[in-house]
Amino acid sequence: MGKISSGAKAGLVGGLLVGVIAGAITYLQMTIFKEEYMNILRETLEETFEKYGAQLPSGMSPDQLVEMSYNTGRIWGSIGAIIVFIIIGVIVGLVYAVIYNRLPTKSPILKALTLTLAIYVIWTIISKTLVFSMGLPEPKTLPQWFIISGYIIGFIEYALLGATMGALYYRWYVSIAE
């Protein structure tokens, strides 16, 4: 197997593994903190009605719409985590294969960790900057510990992606090429 296909395959498998874990975490988090999420949805709904004059579908109460949105978000948030991490895994795996020899250290796992954690830090900074520059409001009801735990979980997910991808790439390409 060539280096590019090995990188893509390692990224795909790593992304799938991390995506399933992230999807499960998302589902559990939304289940455990249901009231917090429901409050965010309620606030957003009220703000939408006030600012834009939106109306509910006939026969639907605000609480029904909030409950429906919550349940949809919990399911699709979990599925979305899997899909997003598969895409991220394949892209990062391809990049990893191309720049493998230029990354510092000799360990393939440390090389992959360097890449994935650098991407995590850069993406976190860019996404925060975009939120502020677009004028999107920060959710008013999220406690600080909840936001910090999200960063920690994201860091762990990207570290797991890097470790898995590095180990698989080594197994599928580097050890055979040596």
* Closest C-alpha to 151, from 142, 98, 75, 171: 142
pLDDT confidence of residue 54 = 77
Position 3 pLDDT exceeds 90: no
What does the pLDDT read at residue 10? 95
pLDDT at residue 178 in the model: 61
DSSP code per residue over 100-167: GGGSSSS-HHHHHHHHHHHHHHHHHHHHHHHHHHHTPPPPSS--HHHHHHHHHHHHHHHHHHHHHHHH
pLDDT greater than 90 at residue 145: no
pLDDT tens readout for residues 59-105: 888 899 899 999 999 999 999 999 999 999 999 999 999 999 898 88
- 24 pLDDT exceeds 80? yes
Mean pLDDT, range 1-22, rounded to an integer: 92
Instruction: Quote the pTM value.
Output: 0.84
Whether the CB-CB separation of 103 and 165 falls below 8 Å is answered with: no
Mean pLDDT of 115-128: 90
